Chains A and B, each alone.
Chain A
Amino acid sequence: MIWDYAIPRVETGVAAQDAAQPMDSEAFAGFYQRSARSLWAYLARVSGNPALADDLMQEAYLRFLGAAHSADGEVACRRYLFRIATNLMRDHWRRPRTSSIDELPEMLFSAGDGSAASDALVMLGPAMAQMRPRDRQLLWLAYAEDYTHSEIAEITGLKSTSIRLLLFRARRKVARLLRKETSAERGCA
């Protein structure tokens, strides 16, 4: 690839490090194409901030490539990538700042273009906004990404047994909110 030669080499054992690199540029390009949209969707919908999702996604891929990760296969790499993204989001929320995820306006969670948005998404946005960040993560990983409890535990760093309980509570709450939204919609119509 052209960009391989765009960066001056440092003759300090980098060549040896490159040899140990788990993913070459071609393999990465394929992996990126297959995983980036899902990762962005996760970051954007859980954080409620598309600009933040752009930043965190870039950082997640940089850390993913920077880590000496053995070639465990696409599924493991994808899970590892989501784990990095989850940690980055957590670090972002922990950082002291004027606006935290809990203070973001609800409209950020709804679809940007109201005309194109489906009913489900319009309803899911406000419902997600009322959930705690961790619950949003768990719900997204379970119902959008179809991860199992053990995979979610690996990504979030929580215990698998805790995931079951937390997810049960979260899904009950979000389902209640979605039903409330739906009945309100029907009431208006």
Chain B
Amino acid sequence: MTLGHCAREKEVMALLRSGSWPAACDPELRDHVADCGLCEQTVLLKSAFADALARAKDEARLEAPGVVWWRAQLRRRNAAVERVNRPLTQAQRFALLINLLAAVALLASQWRHVDRLVAWFSDVAEALVFHPAALWSMAAQQPGWNLMVLIPFVVAVVVLSGITVYLATER
């Protein structure tokens, strides 16, 4: 595609920008514009857009600059607060991760007692009457005392994880 070019286009554009077109313009240039398709196009477009710009400027309903400035300051400060809180959130996430890792490590270490735990739960389910005291003694009679440590520990981890997640997502 060949891009059209006229050596006098810049001259015409300058006159249009300064508002000198067509009154304060050389008649020779006016004749050129009448003959040159590109310059005529430039005059048509520049006039239409300049008029559209002037009218659109009149239509604009502007807010006070102070209001815009105030909103920008507010946004800037909110961003600063968020930046300050970011390490705290990361610390909470780290705490959650440690909790989960501890829970996984404990479960892995107690894995060999899982079959006893299952049996213990099935005993409880089969019991006709559920007495916490009986439950305690039943668990105590088991050779795997670790169960009595494991269950409260897992419960504590779950509770702590819940609190950590809540604190992390509180904002």
Query: Residues of A with Cβ closer than 8 Å to B?
Result: 1-4, 6-7, 9-10, 12-14, 17, 25, 28-29, 32-33, 36-38, 40-41, 44-45, 50, 54, 58, 61-62, 65-66, 111-112, 116-118, 120-121, 123-124, 139-140, 143-146, 164-165, 168, 171-172, 174-175, 178-179
Say yes or no: B77 contacts A10, CB within 8 Å.
Answer: yes
User: Which chain B residues in 37-74 approach chain A with CB under 8 Å?
Assistant: 41, 44-53, 55-57, 59-63, 65-66, 68-74
B9-51 contacts to A, CB under 8 A, are 17, 41, 44-51
Nearest 7 interchain pairs by C-beta: A41-B56, A65-B72, A143-B49, A32-B65, A40-B60, A29-B65, A37-B57
18 contacts between A and B (CB under 8 A): A1-B69, A7-B74, A25-B69, A28-B68, A33-B65, A38-B57, A41-B56, A44-B59, A45-B53, A58-B63, A58-B68, A62-B75, A65-B76, A124-B51, A139-B45, A143-B45, A178-B44, A179-B44
In the bound complex, residues from chain B placing their C-beta under 8 Å from that of A41 are 52-53, 56-57, 59-60
A residues less than 8 Å from B41 (CB atoms): 171-172, 175
A175 to B39, CA, bound (A): 12
Question: For the complex, what is the distance from the CA of A149 to the CA of B34, rounded to whole Å?
Answer: 26
Once bound together, how far apart are the Cα atoms of A52 and B61, in whole Å?
13
Q: B81 — nearest CB in chain A belongs to which residue? A: A10
Q: For B69, list chain A residues within 8 Å (CB).
A: 1, 3, 25, 28-29, 65
Is B55 in contact with A121, judged by CB distance below 8 angstroms?
yes
Number of B residues, CB within 8 Å of A? 40
B binding-site residues for A, Cβ under 8 Å? 1, 3-4, 17, 41, 44-53, 55-57, 59-63, 65-66, 68-77, 79-81, 83-84
Tell me the minimal C-beta distance from B74 to chain A in angstroms.
6
B72 touches A66 (CB 8 A): yes
Chain A residue numbers with a CB within 8 Å of B4 are 168
Q: Is the CB of B3 within 8 A of A165?
A: yes
| Contact, CB under 8 Å: B48 / A120 | yes
- Find chain A residues with CB under 8 A from B55 CB: 111, 116-118, 121
Flag if B81 contacts A12 (CB, 8 Å). Answer: yes
Q: Which residues of B contact A179 (CB under 8 A)?
A: 44
What are the residues of chain B within 8 A of A45 when measuring CB–CB? 52-53, 56
Which chain A positions have C-beta within 8 A of B83? 12
CB of A139 within 8 A of CB of B80, answer no
Given contacts A3-B70, A58-B68, contact A40 B62 (CB under 8 A): yes
Cβ distance B67 to chain A, nearest Cβ, rounded Å: 8
A179, B46: Cα distance in complex, Å: 14
Q: Could you say which of B50, B71, B77 contacts A144, with CB atoms under 8 Å apart?
A: B50
With A10-B84, A175-B44 as contacts: A164 and B70 at CB distance below 8 Å: no
CB distance from A140 to the nearest CB of B (A): 7
Q: Which residues of chain A are near B3, meaning CB under 8 Å?
A: 164-165, 168
| Apart from A7-B74, A36-B65, 16 more pairs, CB < 8 Å | A3-B70, A37-B57, A40-B59, A40-B62, A41-B52, A45-B52, A54-B61, A58-B63, A58-B71, A62-B72, A117-B55, A118-B51, A120-B51, A124-B51, A144-B49, A146-B17
